[in-house]
Amino acid sequence: MKPVVMLITDWCPHCKRAAAWMKELETETPDFSQVEIRVIDEEKEPELAKKYDYYYVPTYYVGDIKVHEGVPTKDIVRSVYEKALE
């Protein structure tokens, strides 16, 4: 299992939607709740966020690989979990 990093901002509506889908997916697929997810708010932890190569939020990294950046869908969020479990 690989850890996931999710880069967000507090005010981003797409980040809030992605977080809601994450909760839904963890309920629908209990294995997903075992995935370690580190959420980094770029405004609260700018030095940590600068270590990642991205422009839009939310951005997901699985391990060291960026797997999504920008407006998500529920299917995209599901694929993040699936990649983490591979």
Q: Count how many domains the chain has.
A: 1
Tokens of 67: 């797997």
For residue range 10-45, what is the model confidence (pLDDT) as tens digits?
999 999 999 999 999 999 999 999 999 999 999 999
Global pTM value: 0.94
Q: What is the CATH number of the domain that holds 55?
A: 3.40.30.10
The domain containing residue 13 runs over which residues?
4-85
| pLDDT in the model for residue 70 | 96
Give the per-residue SS3 of 2-63: CCEEEEECCCCHHHHHHHHHHHHHHHHCHHHHHCCEEEEECCCCHHHHCCCCCCCCCEEEEC
